Chain A
Amino acid sequence: AQSVTQLGSHVSVSEGALVLLRCNYSSSVPPYLFWYVQYPNQGLQLLLKYTSAATLVKGINGFEAEFKKSETSFHLTKPSAHMSDAAEYFCAVTGYGGSQGNLIFGKGTKLSVKP
């Protein structure tokens, strides 16, 4: 069985500050992990993905995430927040050998960026 926990449903940072969004996963098979971003009334856009290659994954818009197997974590970071980063962020997991289609999503974290 697989699951995702996102700690903190709301995170607020100042413009230029570090962004840290937390994601912990549970998976009985080697996981593939994803971060998606959703702007209001829009679909999800893939930020980055981990598929068992490099543990530090760089994505779009300056985001990156590090896969830490020992901590079962895949936290999303960005060194300097921009106003345009305000959105909701979802972590998702699926597992090789499991149902290919079944992405398991966390409940999401809404990021607010203060000027």
Chain B
Amino acid sequence: NAGVMQNPRHLVRRRGQEARLRCSPMKGHSHVYWYRQLPEEGLKFMVYLQKENIIDESGMPKERFSAEFPKEGPSILRIQQVVRGDSAAYFCASSPESRQDPYEQYFGPGTRLTVT
């Protein structure tokens, strides 16, 4: 059973470009979470999605950031018009539908975004 997959692992964008980060949850998992890790900081929650629904986006910046988790395919975190401050590691996590293992999240390897 493959773990959470994220691609690309490293992404370089120039200021003003768009960044698209992809996350494929573990097989059988229908909950996806995105976190951002700035240098020397812990992870900060951004958004929580289930298939075709955004459940909690309280950690998402109001502008330029969006996320989706379509019925088919991976979850996408999209950052429009990137700025240097967006440089960070972006982690995706997934969890199963079952309530027997509440809130346990399995993390992907992350995408390291560098904005030049």
Contact = CB atoms under 8 A, between A and B. Distances in A.
Given A99-B56, A107-B41, A108-B42, A43 B103 contact: no
A2 to B, nearest CB: 11
A103 B40 CA distance: 18
Nearest to A42: B109
A102 B91 CA distance: 13
Contact of A105 (B40, B43, B103): B43
B43 to A, nearest CB: 5
B44 to A, nearest CB: 7
Interface residues of B, number: 27
A103 B31 CA distance: 13
Contacts of A92: 43
B22 to A, nearest CB: 15
A99 to B, nearest CB: 5
Interface string A63-102: 0000000000000000000000000001010101001111
A90 B43 contact: yes
19 contacts: A4-B42, A32-B103, A36-B107, A41-B112, A42-B109, A42-B110, A43-B107, A44-B107, A90-B42, A96-B102, A99-B56, A100-B55, A100-B102, A100-B103, A101-B31, A102-B45, A103-B45, A103-B105, A108-B41
List 10 A-B pairs, minimum CB-CB distance, nearest first: A101-B48, A105-B42, A43-B107, A44-B107, A43-B109, A107-B42, A105-B43, A101-B33, A99-B56, A102-B45
